[in-house]
Copies of this chain bind each other. A is one copy, B any other.
């Protein structure tokens, strides 16, 4: 499917997509954020073939999204636990979830609630903000080429 490796691109969006790797990876990370830790948890939740799941989890451990942790000191059983790098994908997951809630809602409503544990309330919509924390309307946001980065084709006109 891929014409070239996104990882070679300088764009951080492309690099993130290359790194996280596939929809499966994002769904595995989602399950981990919801409490899954054991291989068979992910397997049953996703309805995914064992070898596909093994490949995905191995890659996610290799690139530092998950670590394998022994269940107890003398146990041979291991669980998959998100690293800081993996947990740091929470804003991506929340943004995906909230977009889906709004634009492609399921007839039975959302299956997941994302809650502030202290207040017991739903989070507000995740949204770009100024340095002072104020919400920015989307029309006020510019995505522009950084100094020294290759020019975009549509900037040539």
Instruction: Give the interface of A toward B (CB within 8 A).
Output: 1-4, 6-7, 9-17, 19, 22-24, 26-27, 30-31, 33-38, 40-41, 44-49, 52, 64, 85, 87-106, 108-119, 121-131, 133, 135-136, 138, 140-146, 148-150, 152-155
**10 nearest CB pairs, A to B:** A12-B100, A16-B100, A111-B149, A10-B111, A91-B95, A44-B153, A41-B154, A92-B95, A115-B142, A15-B100
Q: Do A26 and B38 touch across chains, with their CB atoms under 8 A apart?
A: no
Q: Do B88 and A126 touch across chains, with their CB atoms under 8 A apart?
A: no
Select which of B12, B33, B48, B116 is within 8 A of A140 by beta carbon. Answer: B116
Q: Do B123 and A129 touch across chains, with their CB atoms under 8 A apart?
A: yes
Contacts of A126 in B (CB 8 A): 91, 95, 126-129
Given contacts A12-B106, A16-B99, A128-B126, contact A34 B152 (CB under 8 A): yes
Q: Do B98 and A12 touch across chains, with their CB atoms under 8 A apart?
A: yes
A-B contact pairs, 24 of them (CB 8 A): A1-B22, A7-B104, A12-B106, A12-B112, A13-B100, A14-B27, A15-B104, A17-B23, A19-B104, A41-B153, A45-B153, A85-B103, A90-B141, A91-B126, A91-B128, A93-B143, A94-B128, A95-B126, A111-B150, A112-B144, A113-B143, A114-B128, A114-B142, A116-B140
Q: Do A128 and B90 touch across chains, with their CB atoms under 8 A apart?
A: yes
13 additional A-B residue pairs with CB within 8 Å, beyond A3-B47, A92-B96, A123-B129:
A6-B27, A10-B108, A12-B104, A15-B100, A31-B152, A34-B143, A40-B153, A45-B154, A90-B138, A91-B128, A115-B142, A121-B131, A133-B133
